[in-house]
Structure 1
């Protein structure tokens, strides 16, 4: 009987108090954006994910909040599209491979170029250092330093270390994203 009431309660929440948030997930190729989105949406982590060509979208349901997540390709030819998909969203999620230290200077440059766009002022930024399950990954403090996140202004900035593969810290990511609905 309790299951019936829970389903009825969830249905009422969705019908009358549903909140949908638009989230854009960006980052260089091979950072783990698609793998992270697959895991957040309730799927399995797979090691052989095909690179995103253009974009793809999935909805992630958490209680009364639906996260409509846009996963954009990270190859150089897709980066000019990032601004278009970041305009007017509730949050920008920038994902880096925290174990690929050679790619971090390019990631920093691309992130700062994007954040200079006046159309994106005020949009909260969540930076995720993915692949924290690898032994040579950077810590959150190191990522903040390398990506020069302390210089970012005109928005709230948070940074977490995660592992899509091990599902490490994904509850904190979801909580951070869902908290955008209260604003």
Structure 2
């Protein structure tokens, strides 16, 4: 019975309140950006992923929220495009392979370089430490320290440990994005 009431309330809300968000997902190659987009869109994990060449865009509707997700390639040759696709979005999602300790310093440098761009000031940033299903994955607290996130004070910022594969903490990341996304200018 409560399921029916919840569905009815969700339907009524959808008549009067709709929200559109534009998000850009960036991060080093093999961090799980495309996998995350696919899990958000379909609710299913697929082992067979090919690296993103350039960018992909996908529109996903969750309840009353329609998200336009820009998935930008993480290989070095595509990183110069990150700023362009981050301009004017509601939030930036920076995905890190939290189990690949050898790439953490590079991820920190790329994130800080991106956030220094004047046109990106004040855009909220969500850092996701992906692959927490692996034993060697850093916790959210360890990732915050490793990437020096406590020193980012000019915007809304959060860091979560997730597993796109197991769909761990995907719901709270979406809730944070909906709550903290900056209205488009």
TM-score normalised by L of structure 2? 0.90
In structure 2, the residue matched to 1:66 is 66
Q: Cα deviations across residues 21-47 of structure 1 (Å, max 9, x unaligned)?
A: 010000000000000110011242112
CA contact (8 A) 2:91 2:181 kept: no
| 2:78 is equivalent to residue 81 of structure 1 | no
Q: State the alpha-carbon separation in 1 of the partners of residues 169 and 27 from structure 2.
A: 18
Please, which moves more after superposition, 12-21 or 75-84?
12-21
* Moved segments of 4+, more than 2 Å: 3-17, 180-183
User: Within 5 Å, which residues of 2 pair with 1:52-63?
Assistant: 52-63=52-63
Secondary structure of residue in 1 paired with 2:77: coil
Secondary structure of residue in 2 paired with 1:41: helix
How many corresponding residue pairs? 182
In structure 2, the residue matched to 1:154 is 154
In structure 2, the residue matched to 1:30 is 30
Secondary structure of residue in 2 paired with 1:102: helix
**Structure 2: 5+ residue runs without aligned partners?**
none
In structure 2, the residue matched to 1:113 is 113
Superposed CA RMSD in Å reads 2.2
In structure 2, the residue matched to 1:101 is 101
| 2:152 is equivalent to residue 137 of structure 1 | no
Distance verdict in 2 for CA 1:166–1:155, change over 3 Å: same
**Structure 1: 5+ residue runs without aligned partners?**
none
CA contact (8 A) 1:19 1:181 kept: no
